[in-house]
Each structure stands twice: as structure tokens, then as C-alpha cells.
Amino acid sequence: MDRDTITGSHSPLRPEQMSVILDSVAAGIFTIDMDWRITSFNRTAEDITGVPRNKSLGKPCWEVFKSNLCEDDCPIRQTIKTGMQIVNRAAYIVDSKGDRVPISMTAAPLRDEDRVIGGVETFRDLRQVEALRKRIEQSYCCEDILSCNHLMRRMFELLPTIADSDSTVCIEGETGTGKELVARAIHTLSPRKDKPFVAINCGALPDSLLESELFGYKAGAFTDAKRDKPGRCALAEGGTLLLDEIGDISPALQVRLLRVIQERVYEPLGATKPVETNVRIVAATNKNLDDLVRQGKFRHDLYYRINVVQLVLPPLRERKEDIPLLVDHFVARFNRLQDKDVAGVSERVMELLMAHDFPGNVRELENIIEHAFVLCQGGLIEPRHLPKSICPTSALSSLGMGRALSLEEMEKIMITDALRRNDWNRKAASRELRIHKSTLFRKIKVLGIDLPPLDGRSSFHRNMSAAGDEPGLV
């Protein structure tokens, strides 16, 4: 529908015919004059706002919509001023019941020949979209952890059982994969949830400070120790103590920590007798402790004590199916924190994110979205809002940024990633993708996916045998 048709200029349609057409549109539509008063209001606009047409006509638009954009960032005001159309601006209005309604709006100026005589705005009710997004997040969420990856989903299923026990847990994963979030989820799901959760980064402090931070000290233990100071073990009493980056502690401190885990006692610096403790230990590391044990850098007896239950978090590059879910989550989060109305990311941005390896994992993705929020004032996040490390000129040209990835291209990427994660074992990949193996074979052929000269079955069985059925192993 062009602007001349909307204004009625050069149109053979009578006003009542135009009203029928506008009322049949599934989006809300209204027009205003140069005094910001509503001149037309279709039936869908009535349904979304709860305001009857006869009570809206002639009123200033801000009295009807009460939008968060009305005062400073009104799209229809901007479009009249600039003459440029504004597309898919995210916002919310307050309906007649006082409820907040999320919408997506598009605005354009109304012209009579060369003269602007007002503006037109269409808007869509996003309540169902928001409800669906929340349902999806809840379906793929365990506490504050979001994922639809099969390994992460398996961990979600195990977490309540792990949390219900008092066994020591060791969480391994690269920096930024969410180890502390998993530790907090274990605490929140456990019988200790009403007691403190205390975390300490073992790699950030030298031994002398780390020991006093962990176990505390008594007055007079050293110069300037004028009064007793409780350590993290005391602060976490009855709750959970997270020892982050445990692979960085020295052999001497490993001995003291072993005693805490084995005998449930510790000695503050300067104390003359041990103190009993009731804390659950959760350890986290971005290093392979098994390798450190073989190298003699980590005590094997401490390793076995903290590794009763092992959780391994896959890096984001191995679960790229989570990227759209995480992007939506971070966009919603920063909209709340920064009081903005960013609608999401464009197809081009999603294309770039899916192609990135994310050495910083989920934390890096969060930082990328936060960076984009600094530069993006509304609408969709575009490539120009991304850090240069994500959106170099070479990446733009190599990805063919003049177009979005087709469904077949996205499918090829997802299937190839699943095959690679499963050592190119087609049967294992089909299980992960939840499709029949014959369907996978057909798609491999149709999409032209090149396979290495092995079937992956031997490595698959070898890995399964090594993994076994040990609880908590992901």
C-alpha cells in the first residue's frame, strides 16, 4: 500500500472502503495530523490498546499510547522531521487496563504532493512473541544457565541429583564457559541453598594472601593483625565454597586444602587448635587437572578428592546452536539494564556470530552484545555496531554480507559441526541432531558435505568406553 493510497490522494476508493481495508489488516494502524492528533484508528489498534476508535480520534497520540518513546524518541515525530521511514522500532505502550504491551512499530510521513501533512504508524503486538520467548528460555534453562545443546541438557538433568548430595564437584571448562554459574546452580538446587555461597579465585592471589583469605587469621598472627578475621571457609559455613581456578594453587597449599576436604577441619593463621567446618567444596578450573597430575604439578590425592563428580563444560564453538538463544537473552537483559528498546540482531550480525570461534566463550558473546548496545540506540543491531575483531572487512566480504545465509547453508553448518563434535561418526551425530541416520545420510549427500576417510565408529566406541556411565560426566 503506497502513501497516496493511505492519504486517499488519487485513489478511487471511498473512505468507507478504505476503512474496511484498514480494519482487515492484522497490524494496528493509525494516522496523525501536524498537531499530533489521531485522524484514523483501525480495528486492530483498538484491540491492542483497548481504546475504542470514537475515543481515540482527535486526541493527541501520546494520550492514547503512553509509550516509553513518546517523550524523547517518538518514531512518528522523527519520521515527520526527517522524511525517512523508521522500521521495526521496539517499544512498549500502556493499554487501557494499565498493562504494559511490547510492540514493534514502523512509521512514515504522510504527504499531499510535496507537503508533509502528518504521519502514519503501524504496530504489532509482541505479547505472544514475548511469552513464547520466555517459554523457550524456561525450556532450555537451568537456574541462570541457558542452552539447547545436548551435552548441556544432559548436565541440566544431572544437576538436581548432584546438588542433592554433599560430594565434592570439579567443574572443568575454558574461560567464559559459565563455571561459576554451574556452581551457583548446584548451590541453589541443594539443601544448602539458604546458607551462603562464597567464591574465591585461587589464581588471583599469592599463596600467603590466599591462605589467609581461605582460612582467616587470629589477632597477632602477623604485623597489623589487630583482630580476628574470618576466612572464606568460615563465611561459607553451612553453605558452598567455590574454589575457582584451583589448578593454580601451589603444592604447599594443596596439602592444607586436602586436610580441609578429608577431615573437615582447618587452622586459621595464628590459631592453636583446628576449627571444624561444614562446607561443600566445588572446584573449578580452566586447566586439565589430569595432565597436571601426570606432570607432577597437582597432587594426585587432592585430585581424587575434588574430582568425585566431574562436570565438563563444552566451549561455545562446540555448541553454536546456543548462540541465537544467548543473543536473545543478552539483548533482553541489556534492554532492562540500560532502559533501551533494541529489537535484536540483524541476519547479517547473526551470520557473523555463527562464524566466530569465540575463544572467550559465553563471556565474550555477552561483551560483544554489550559493546553493540553502546553504539545501537534502537532497532536492530547491525554489523557496524560490533567490535572490529568480530566484523573485519575481510570477514564481511568472505561471508557475502550482501545476503543472509540460506536455510540450506545454515543446515550444512549445523550438521558439519555435529559430525565434527562426534569424530565424524554419523550414527552419533544423528542422535545428537535427533534425526534418523538415513535422513542424515541423505542430507550429507544433498548438501555436499565432505567427510574424512573414516567412519568414526572406532573412536566413538573408544570414547564411550572411556566415559562410561559415571554420574556427572558430560
Q: Helix, strand, coil % (nearest 5) of the chain?
A: 45, 20, 35
Which pLDDT value is given to residue 467? 37
Which pLDDT value is given to residue 458? 45
- Euclidean distance between CA atoms 451 and 426, whole angstroms: 10
135-314 matches 3-125 in CATH topology: no
- Neighbour-count burial of 388, counting CB atoms closer than 10 A to its CB (0-12 exposed, 13-18 middle, 19+ buried): exposed
| Fold of the CATH domain 3-125 | Beta-Lactamase (3.30.450)
- Euclidean distance between CA atoms 340 and 315, whole angstroms: 30
Which pLDDT value is given to residue 132? 65
How far does the chain reach from its first CA to its final CA, in angstroms?
Answer: 55
- Neighbour-count burial of 5, counting CB atoms closer than 10 A to its CB (0-12 exposed, 13-18 middle, 19+ buried): middle
Which pLDDT value is given to residue 244? 94
CB 116 within 8 A of CB 82: no
Report mean pLDDT in 10-residue bins for the chain, 474 residues.
46 70 86 91 92 92 84 81 82 85 87 86 84 60 78 90 94 94 94 94 86 84 76 94 94 90 88 89 94 93 93 93 90 87 86 90 95 88 89 49 57 80 83 83 85 55 37 32
Which pLDDT value is given to residue 401? 41
Which pLDDT value is given to residue 103? 87
- Euclidean distance between CA atoms 181 and 57, whole angstroms: 52
Q: What grid cell was written down for 142?
A: 537451568
Which pLDDT value is given to residue 460? 38
What would the pLDDT profile of 242-270 be if each residue is shown by its tens digit? 999 999 999 889 999 999 999 999 988 88
What is the full DSSP assignment across 108-169? EEEEETTEEEEEEEEEEE-HHHHHHHHHHHHHTEETTEE---HHHHHHHHHHHHHHHS---E
Q: Amino acid letter at 334?
A: F
CB 199 within 8 A of CB 242: yes
Q: What are the backbone dihedrals phi and psi of residue 4, each rounded to the nearest 5 degrees, phi first?
A: -60, -40
Question: Looking at domain 135-314, what is its CATH homologous superfamily?
Answer: P-loop containing nucleotide triphosphate hydrolases (3.40.50.300)
Q: Please name the residues in contact with 281: beta carbons below 8 A apart, sequence gap of 6 or more.
A: 168, 169, 240, 241, 243, 260, 261, 306
Which pLDDT value is given to residue 421? 78
Which pLDDT value is given to residue 2? 46
Q: Give domain limits for the chain.
A: 3-125, 135-314, 317-398, 407-467
Q: Which CATH number fits domain 317-398: 1.20.1440.230, 1.10.1060.10, 3.40.140.10, 1.10.8.60?
A: 1.10.8.60
Q: Amino acid letter at 318?
A: E
Is 107 in a helix, a strand, or coil?
strand
The dotted CATH code for 407-467 is: 1.10.10
Which pLDDT value is given to residue 140? 55
Which pLDDT value is given to residue 37? 93
